[in-house]
Structure 1
Amino acid sequence: MSSTALTPEQLSSFSPMDFLTPAYREQLHASLKYLSHPAGTQVLLKGERSLAQYYLLSGKVAVDAGHARQTFEGGSGQAHMPLNGSQPNPATVKALTDVQLFAVEHQLLERLLGWSQDAAYQVNSLGGGMLEEQHDNDEDWLARLLGSPLFGRLAPSHLHALLARFEYLPVEAGQAVVQYGEPGEHFYVIKRGRARISLPQAYREQPTQILESGDFFGEEALVSGAVRSASVIMLEDGELARLQRELFVELVRPTLIPRMSQQELEQRMQAGPHKHLLLDVRLALEYRVAHLPESLNLPVANLRTHADSLDRATCYVVTPEGGIRSELAVHLLNQLGFDAYLLDEGSAEAA
């Protein structure tokens, strides 16, 4: 399939990828999935819902919308439009020859399109008369930040307000931006420079983590209400974007703890083969006293060390009995790249 892989420049010829800024197009390009279907097989079924938009790269397909039937051929102008640009699928698509396609996740594309429109305006307004190269640098750190699992659910409407409320402060090599044990007052993003996470002595056996442009820190203390769990030391001169605790809670925290009702969980479990698992993150003793049926116990303190044993194809729904620990677990799982939600407390009680 490597012979058919697109370059980011070639991707821009497909609609609506031509509206993406270069940084977001690169991000979308890295997520593309390539598929092959032999002649005579069904590619899409009218009325079904697909998680992705499909584009024809080579071969010929028949597109039957019920009232009209067309044939598309790879490389034609029609093939640069999605086969299923709306949901549910507007037509049944059948391979007339062996075909090759690529798929783009619907939600990712929508987020990147929204970010491209908002960030293009906001980045250009951040520095007034800055040079074009500086605009590009701003877009790079923003693209990396917004492409992280933490901000993957951030609504485009929040982006403008978020960037408008960031404070920007210069920092020097050797400066301790946050220190272990102190209260959490700010959320930070590295706009320029590098930093090192310094852990307490008890955790020194863990590998040193280096933060670079677009990386963030400080959110765990704001989610949990606990003191800082590590220090962050600048390795070189740079610049940070900082958000106050109150603004973080208002603009960002709701996206860190996405919620799911019992009804939504049941609907999703019935809708398709995607696996869902209830996760109880309290201590084992608390779990043994009482817990929701079919839930798995994994204390929040063990999430990071046991992450490699978790299935990334599974959606984890954290039960609410752990209170702030449950919220922190949802955030940590999403930060680690898993799909995680907090089960609504009301729906859990009803269940």
Structure 2
Amino acid sequence: MSNATPRLTLELLLRFSPFDFLTPHYQQQALDSLQYVQRKAGTPLFKRGEKSLALYYLLEGKVGLGEEGTRKPMLGGSLEACHALNETQPQAQAVVALSDVTLFALERGLLERLLNWSQSADYGVVSLSMQAEEQQGHDDWLAKLLRSPLFGRLPPPHLHKLLARFEFIEVAGGEAVVRYGEPGEHFFVLKQGRAAVTLPSAYQQEPRQILQVGDFFGEEALVSGAVRSATVTMLEDGVLARLERELFVELVHPTLIPQISSEQLHRMTRLGQRQFLLLDVRLPMEYRLGHQAGSISLPVANLRTHAESLDRHTLYAVTPEGGIRSELAVHLLNQFGFEAYLLTDPPEQSPVAA
């Protein structure tokens, strides 16, 4: 098998089910989200009865379906191979690689969301955009918001409710929308204008972040219950879409923190041959008193400054001991472009003291 992993084109992806049911925008999003896996001949791919977070498709090679002695062969490129090898949950039959194989995979939850969006497009995304244009004029703030990881997980009914409850306010250039250290009461989306994110002068700060139309802010204080971690000041006159804390917590907060069990974590990384890392985001003192075996200490306050040193191909599981801090860390990591989950089950072993 070649060392170069094949990559699908959009045309080839549409030969697999159910990608042909997606609208063009979501077809491209699915293509960009695929992961590719290569396994050697003789490797067990799935066991009967197991569950997995991703759907895996045979791209190249030959696999056997069923138990040894009764296995049915399947070739990459065949009509049968247009369906996922692990379509049913729990897994209906064992699957083993009969030759060197190449698979591609997509998270089940993501595919379900893309199908949901596509099948309800007339009522979902299209009508959302039409409502925004009718109410506030034509711009692309909502389209950008819907493409974000934060809102991409929400079902259309939730988005309709959110849009109906957004309050649009005019703000002047130079006005501080939120201030460092104040309690958080609202979630904001920048509909018109630009804004700057700054910290107090006592901090050694990187160049200030500039927010553009469609960017959002204020969710961290609502996730963590803490005070505002930065000041956001308008650089010019603009318009903000504002959402009250209670509605944000009710509709948005549950989707911010994807969760994973230890069993799911090991299955996902075993089949995909991916590395994972356990992160303990409590203070170093708390970590030294006891932590899960194999976890490393990375306090949530240091995530921004240390994010560039993290490997983007690694899956990150945040241990739950930090409570709200663990939830905030998962949200921040996903916002930074990493794949992160909150580990749901308690440790199997007693905590280890440093």
Q: Give the letter aligned to residue 206 of structure 2.
A: Q
Measured against aligned partners, the alpha-carbon deviations of 1:280-308 in whole angstroms (never above 9, x if no partner) come to 51363x555x4446465443322322334
Q: Does 1:143 align with 2:130?
A: no
Shift of 1:30: 1.3
1:229 aligns with 229
Q: Does 1:64 align with 2:96?
A: no
Shift of 1:344: 7.9
**How far apart are the structure 1 equivalents of 2:334 and 2:141?**
25
1:30 aligns with 32
Measured against aligned partners, the alpha-carbon deviations of 1:194-217 in whole angstroms (never above 9, x if no partner) come to 433123222353132233344321
Q: Does 1:277 align with 2:281?
A: no
2:57 aligns with 55
Q: Is the 8 A contact 1:172 1:238 kept in 2?
A: yes
Query: What's the secondary structure of 2:116's corresponding residue?
Result: helix
1:116-265 residue pairs with structure 2 within 5 A?
Answer: 116-117=118-119, 121-126=123-128, 127-128=130-131, 137=140, 140-145=143-148, 148=149, 150-151=150-151, 154=154, 158-169=158-169, 175-191=175-191, 194-203=194-203, 205-235=205-235, 239-257=239-257, 264-265=261-262
| Distance change >3 Å, CA 42–CA 97, structure 1 → 2 | same
Structure 1 unaligned segments of length 5 or more: list them.
Answer: none
Shift of 1:269: 6.9
**How far apart are the structure 2 equivalents of 1:268 and 1:99?**
23
**How far apart are the structure 1 equivalents of 2:199 and 2:98?**
59
Shift of 1:187: 0.5
Q: Is the 8 A contact 1:49 1:88 kept in 2?
A: yes
Q: Give the number of aligned pairs.
A: 333
**How far apart are the structure 1 equivalents of 2:239 and 2:24?**
23
1:1-20 residue pairs with structure 2 within 5 A?
Answer: 4-20=6-22
Query: What's the secondary structure of 1:29's corresponding residue?
Result: helix
**How far apart are the structure 2 equivalents of 1:232 and 1:214?**
15
| Distance change >3 Å, CA 316–CA 206, structure 1 → 2 | same
1:102 aligns with 104
**How far apart are the structure 2 equivalents of 1:141 and 1:182?**
28
| Distance change >3 Å, CA 330–CA 53, structure 1 → 2 | closer
Shift of 1:246: 1.3
Q: Give the letter aligned to residue 332 of structure 2.
A: L
**How far apart are the structure 2 equivalents of 1:26 and 1:69?**
33
Q: Which is richer in helix? A: 1
| Distance change >3 Å, CA 109–CA 214, structure 1 → 2 | farther
Q: Is the 8 A contact 2:287 2:297 kept in 1?
A: yes
Q: Give the letter aligned to residue 166 of structure 2.
A: F
Query: What's the secondary structure of 2:27's corresponding residue?
Result: helix
Structure 2 unaligned segments of length 5 or more: list them.
Answer: none
**How far apart are the structure 1 equivalents of 2:324 and 2:86?**
41
| Distance change >3 Å, CA 56–CA 343, structure 1 → 2 | closer
Shift of 1:183: 3.3
Task: Provide the identity percentage.
Answer: 53
| Distance change >3 Å, CA 203–CA 102, structure 1 → 2 | same
2:23 aligns with 21
Q: Is the 8 A contact 2:320 2:344 kept in 1?
A: yes
Shift of 1:278: 5.8
Measured against aligned partners, the alpha-carbon deviations of 1:127-158 in whole angstroms (never above 9, x if no partner) come to 34959xx999466324322xx2x457656664
| Distance change >3 Å, CA 292–CA 82, structure 1 → 2 | closer
| Distance change >3 Å, CA 212–CA 65, structure 1 → 2 | farther
**How far apart are the structure 1 equivalents of 2:169 and 2:10?**
34
| Distance change >3 Å, CA 342–CA 251, structure 1 → 2 | farther
| Distance change >3 Å, CA 222–CA 140, structure 1 → 2 | same
Q: Give the letter aligned to residue 230 of structure 1.
A: A
Q: Give the letter aligned to residue 313 of structure 1.
A: L
**How far apart are the structure 1 equivalents of 2:306 and 2:132?**
48
**How far apart are the structure 2 equivalents of 1:188 and 1:241?**
6
